[in-house]
C-alpha cells in the first residue's frame, strides 16, 4: 500500500476513517486492532510509541464525532471528501474493506458505514 503521497491531513483522515470502521459495529476484535497498527506502520509510525500516540490522537479526534450515528456518518463523509484522486479513493476503500472484513464477517452497521463512505468518495 502506497501512502507516501498522502498529505498529513489525508493520512489522519484515513486513520480516522479506519477507526470509525473499527467501531462501526460496536464489537472490537483483536484482529481489527492489528489492522490499525499495520496501517499506522504503513503511515510511517515505526515504533510502538509512535503508533500508540497516533492511535490515541485518532481516538480523540473521532470521539467528538461519535456521540450519535448521524454525527459519525457526517464526520465520515467529511473525512472521505478529503480524497480527491481516483487512486487515493481506491486506497481508502481498500483499507476500509480490509478493516471491516478482518473479523470474517460484515455486520449490517459496517456495511452501512462502507456504503456511506463509498457514496462520499463517489465510488461504486
Question: Which of 2-6, 27-31, 42-46, 103-107 has the lowest average pLDDT?
Answer: 103-107
pLDDT higher than threshold 90 for residue 75:
yes
* The pLDDT of residue 2: 65
**Other Cβ atoms within 10 Å of 60 Cβ, number:** 9
Q: Coil, strand or helix: which one is 41?
A: helix
Which domains are delineated in the chain? 8-121 (1.10.3680)
pLDDT higher than threshold 90 for residue 110:
no
Query: What mean pLDDT is reported for the chain?
Result: 89
* The pLDDT of residue 69: 84
pLDDT higher than threshold 80 for residue 55:
yes
Residue 22 burial (CB < 10 Å; 0-12/13-18/19+)?
A: buried
What average pLDDT does range 6-28 have in this prediction? Answer: 90
CA distance 102 to 3: 20
* The pLDDT of residue 50: 96
- Under the banding of pLDDT at 50, 70 and 90, the label for residue 1 is low
Q: Coil, strand or helix: which one is 121?
A: helix
* The pLDDT of residue 66: 80
Taking CA atoms, 37 is separated from 10, 81, 86, 103, in Å, by 17, 24, 25, 15
Amino acid at each position: 500500500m502506497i501512502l507516501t503521497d498522502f498529505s498529513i491531513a489525508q493520512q489522519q483522515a484515513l486513520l480516522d476513517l479506519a477507526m470509525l470502521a473499527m467501531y462501526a459495529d460496536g464489537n472490537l476484535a483483536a484482529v481489527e486492532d492489528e489492522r490499525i497498527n499495520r496501517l499506522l506502520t504503513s503511515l510511517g509510525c515505526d515504533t510502538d510509541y509512535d503508533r500508540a500516540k497516533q492511535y490515541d490522537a485518532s481516538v480523540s479526534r473521532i470521539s467528538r464525532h461519535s456521540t450519535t450515528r448521524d454525527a459519525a456518518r457526517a464526520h465520515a463523509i467529511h473525512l472521505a471528501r478529503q480524497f480527491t484522486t481516483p487512486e487515493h479513493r481506491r486506497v481508502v476503500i481498500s483499507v476500509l474493506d480490509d478493516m471491516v472484513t478482518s473479523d470474517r464477517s460484515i455486520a449490517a452497521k459496517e456495511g452501512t458505514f462502507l456504503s456511506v463512505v463509498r457514496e462520499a468518495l463517489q465510488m461504486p
